[in-house]
Amino acid sequence: MVTETDEVTTQEQARAATISIELAGALKSAGLAWHPASGDRFTLVTGTFDGEVFTLSDMVVEAHEFPSGTVLGFNGTTEWALDSAQVTDALWLPREDQLRELLGAPFRALDRRDDGYRVTAVLPGDDVGTAFDAPGPADAYGRALLALIRRATD
């Protein structure tokens, strides 16, 4: 039997595996492009979903490519009577593994600390690593990636 507490815990675990909405918005504003794929998590930035996190899946939410752009189709769901949403209305919440892959060669280390996690990365033009601290590993990777994107685009 699944209890309400179990559902909240599962939602908290899913959110912990992705970056914060604020950091996701900063990455999007900095120019991080999203190419929707099965397993990606996102939230809708328009409507009344109050930070509801969706998971892109071939079974429930599917990305449909059209000449006019990508549309996220909600197949077989009636909970919100939502058929589809423009990808521009969605905010990608990358997972820790996706952020680590996007960070690429500058990544040097992930360390657990008393107050959270630290990612160390050597950004272009630097000789030594820079530390990026956050409560969770995904946010630490996200902060490092944001710094890398800003360095590359400034």
Q: What are phi and psi of 118, to 5 degrees?
A: -135, 130
Q: What span, in angstroms and rounded, lies between the C-alpha atoms of 101 and 85?
A: 27
Predicted structure pTM score:
0.76
Same domain, residue pair 103 and 88:
no
Q: Is residue 53 within 8 Å of 93, Cβ to Cβ?
A: yes
* pLDDT value for 117: 97
Same domain, residue pair 85 and 102:
no
Helix (H, G, I), strand (E, B) or coil at 75: coil
Helix (H, G, I), strand (E, B) or coil at 2: coil
The more confident residue out of 120 and 60 is: 120
The more confident residue out of 111 and 78 is: 111
Q: What span, in angstroms and rounded, lies between the C-alpha atoms of 137 and 119?
A: 8
How many structural domains comprise the chain?
A: 2
The two tokens of residue 148 are 């890398």
Q: What is the extent of the structural domain holding 122?
A: 96-153
Q: CA angle 10-34-52, nearest 5°? A: 30
Same domain, residue pair 23 and 47:
yes
Same domain, residue pair 80 and 18:
yes
| Residue 79 predicted with pLDDT over 80 | no
2 confidence band (pLDDT: 50, 70, 90): very low
